[in-house]
Structure 1
Amino acid sequence: MASTDPLLGGKEEEEGGGEVRRARRWWVGRVVDTEEAWAQTRFAVPMVLTNMSYYAIPLVSVMFSGHLGDVHLAGATLGNSWATVTGYAFVTGMSGALETLCGQAYGARMYRMLGLYLQSSLLMSAAVSVLVSALWCFTEPLLLLLRQDPAVSAAASAFVRAQVPGLFAFSFLQCLLRYLQTQSVVAPLVACSLAPFLLHVALAHLLVNALGLGLAGAGAAVSITFWASCLMLLAYVLRSERFAETWNGFSAEAFRFVVPTIKLATPSAVMVCLEYWAFELLVLIAGLLPNPTVSTSLIAMCSSTEAIAYMITYGFSAAVSTRVSNEIGAGNVEGAKNAVAVTLKLSVFLAAAFVLLLGFGHGLWAGLFSGSAIIAAEFAAVAPLMMASILLDSAQGVLSGVARGCGWQHLAAVTNLVAFYVIGMPLSIFFAFKLKWYTKGLWMGLICGLTCQTCTLMVITARTKWSKIVDAMQEKKASYVA
């Protein structure tokens, strides 16, 4: 063969290879809109990284607290759960109103409204943070009322009270995140979350170990870190030219939109909190089973695994919320429908990959949480149920994102109430105690709730009259003054 001859044949082979590649692309294109899928992935990955960073910040403080002693670890763990279910989850849910308001306004090119909606949401978040802070000041007596150990309750109170300033920062932070997210500005979010996370590790070491401030220092580190991240995002918005149309400075006009924001934010917070609380309730119920140490540890492991898997779903939930709200604002019904279909396929596919890894590596995964052979064996028995719940959670997460994008958070809130507290929790108790399936029974009840939730949201999405939502948005646009 001459040196100039192709290694794999002549032009015919090259053309044949091109036909194969085109056929492969055609097959993939039949399964999923590749252009939309790539756009969704580029949006979702930064959101996943951002969410993981914020999730890890209080977790690092809990880890540092654990080196102070068993009571400190128990107090920080209990305090972290208390702060999440009574504060952080609530303000995160309330910020979901901006996914509807800002997302649709941006798609409709009503750019000035984004700044006004952001300001009204910040005002609302500040008021809510004041109320939650008052609740946090009574953490110890409330935990004692819930029959928690006195020493652990006192430790949890010290950890939580130091996070009161951080609650305000976190609530403002969530509003800024949604404001940027709805404009598809996600790359800067990674820098403004990863950098504070790295700062937090050093800060927690300084306050807890070097200065010996204990649990109060661990909580204060969380507050300082959240404020650092909040100020970074605020500085970015104020100094960047790309927000010249959507941010015109502070305006008294924002007060006009506080009530409409609250009307969307309240059901948005309820839909988030109801799901958070369901997982926390499972841990509490597990403590009433015959072997509470093993059962509580096992359910806590399962909940943590579910939360980690959901971080992937969260990115696509944010992506579909933004795409749907933007397309509704632009009056593009088909674009919104296509975004829903693509995101649902991507999320379930990635959840299936996670499930396969869990199925083959559940022993190694359990070893990261506990060295107990009993807990590892119990986790192996529950793993198939975990796989089912993760797949369901991946679907409902995307559908919940569609709910936020469309603005029917009230329907999702009612769905979650019925799914988890009328169906899921009662069945968990029945399976665990009456049928004596114990931890398996608890998780099976949760799966029943997730199934009900996912199917209901799927039906609502399928039967949604998209044209009515678009028409309502066009009416708003007609009365808009730039």
Structure 2
Amino acid sequence: MDAKEAKKQILFAVPIILTNIFYNLIPTVSIMFTGHLGELELASSTLAQSWATVTGYSFMIGLSGALETLCGQGFGAKMYNMLGIYLQASCIVSFIFSIAISLLWWYTEPILILLHQNPNIAKQSAIYMRFLIPGIFAYGILQNILRFFQTQSVVLPIVLFSLLPLLLHIAFTNLLVHHTSLGFQGAALATSLTFWFSVLILVVYVCFAKTFKRTWTGLSFTTFSYVFTNFNLALYSASMLCLEYWAFEILVILAGIMPNSEETTSLIAMCVYTEAIAFMVTYGMSAAARY
């Protein structure tokens, strides 16, 4: 074993592992708060979160995969100014798909009923999903910026920039759920607002940090020339990643058609969330190998 190379990969992988765990815990914290409101609220939020992962979050992570190829090639070829252009093109693609996903999320209730979910849970899940809609736009941008960081081996700052939103999210969710009239809906709204806060601090860092003075030179109309290139790569990347996520999240949908769906949906979802956190370890190690 090459000990030097192993150490290098571990030091690169650990920050990515922590970053992904922290970001994954943000929606999970919201669900934990809804669990204190009742079984129906817990089952509805877990089903909504699984539906959001299947139709939105996993797709956004997959779309950002195009930057692994484009930014990786640009950085390796020392075409540093292209990284910022690729980032902007990827954000445009993510924004377009976010609009389509938002329309799908708005009509969550009839879709879940069509999938033979409990009508009461489907109705509450649809309410939860509508408050998650603003967050899907932020989540797409967030994933793109993370790839922008990682392809330049800038991984330590994003640990802090993921931990800070998580800590604020805990306090913010508690405020909206227990100290406002929003209650159940407040947990979903907190998730959306936290994702936007995460994007904001990352954007500020990219614009002002000396680390990116070569790779981020500001907004450019040249970006639009690379949207289609990004679009082609992003679709293939999203397709592969979605199949991986769907294999697990489909279990939550299946749990919804079992007897005592309020209990089974929550139990299966919690198992899937636990598995997802464990998956972040192997994801981080694979990222080290890619970059």
What TM-score do the two structures reach when normalised by structure 2? 0.94
Residues 45 and 125, structure 2, Cα contact 8 Å, conserved in 1: yes
Matched, 1:126 2:95: yes
User: Equivalents in 2 of 1:44, 1:279: separation in Å?
Assistant: 24
* Residue type at the aligned position of 2:187: A
* Pair member with larger Rg: 1
2:229 & 2:266 partners in 1: Cα distance?
43
**Shift of residue 144, structure 1, vs aligned partner:** 1.5
Report what 2:275 is aligned to.
306
What is aligned with 2:12?
A: 43
Q: Distance in 1 between matches of 2:111 and 2:260?
A: 26
SS at match of 2:215: coil
Secondary structure, counterpart of 2:78 in structure 1: coil
Alignment of 1:280-295 (within 5 A): 280-285=249-254
> Partners in 1 of 2:95 and 2:179 — Cα distance?
33
* Match for residue 136 of structure 1 among 92, 105, 109: 105
CA 110–92 in structure 1, closer or farther in 2 if over 3 Å, else same: same
Identify the residue that residue 287 of structure 2 maps to in structure 1. 318
Is contact 2:47-2:252 (8 Å) kept? Answer: no
Deviation at 1:205, TM superposition (A): 0.5
RMSD of aligned residue pairs (Cα, Å): 2.0
Structure 1 Cα separation of the partners of residues 105 and 162 of structure 2: 25
Aligned length: 291
Distance 2:34 2:264 in 1: 24
Verify the 8 A CA contact 2:26 2:166 in the aligned structure 1.
yes
Partner residue of 1:206 out of 138, 151, 175? 175
Change (3 A) 1:42 1:62: same
Structure 1 residues 252, 195: closer, same or farther in 2, change over 3 A? Answer: same
- Quote the offset at 1:206 in angstroms: 0.5
CA distance in 2, matches of 1:103, 1:182: 5
Structure 1: runs of 5+ lacking an equivalent = 1-31, 323-482
How many angstroms does 1:304 deviate by?
Answer: 3.9
Q: Does 1:194 align with 2:163?
A: yes
| Correspondence for 1:228 | 197
Corresponding position of 2:215: 246
Give the 3 Å change call, closer, same or farther, for CA 71–285 of structure 1 in structure 2.
Answer: closer
CA separation in 2, counterparts of 1:85 and 1:290? 23
Query: What is the SS of the residue equivalent to 1:148?
Result: coil
Equivalent in the alignment of 1:77: 46
Equivalent pair of 1:57/1:222 in contact (CA under 8 Å): yes
Q: Which whole-Å CA distance do the structure 2 matches of 1:285 and 1:129 have between them? A: 26
> Is the CA contact 1:155–1:215 (under 8 Å) kept in the aligned structure 2?
no
Q: Partner of 1:104 in structure 2?
A: 73
Q: Percent identity?
A: 54
**Are the counterparts in 2 of residues 112 and 245 from structure 1 also a CA contact under 8 Å?**
yes
Distance 2:187 2:70 in 1: 36
Identify the match of residue 27 of structure 2 among 58, 63, 69: 58
| Deviation string, structure 1 residues 71-124 (Cα, Å, up to 9, x no partner) | 111111111111111101101110000011101211111111101100100111
Q: How much has 1:291 moved relative to structure 2?
A: 10
Using CA pairs under 8 Å that are at least 6 residues apart, name the structure with larger relative contact order, 1 or 2. 2
Q: Report the Cα distance in structure 2 between the residues aligned to 1:250 and 1:303, rounded to whole angstroms.
A: 39
Distance 2:270 2:168 in 1: 28
Note the residue ranges of structure 2 that are not aligned, 5 or more in a row.
Answer: none
1:115 paired to 2:79 = no
1:292 to partner: Cα distance: 8.3
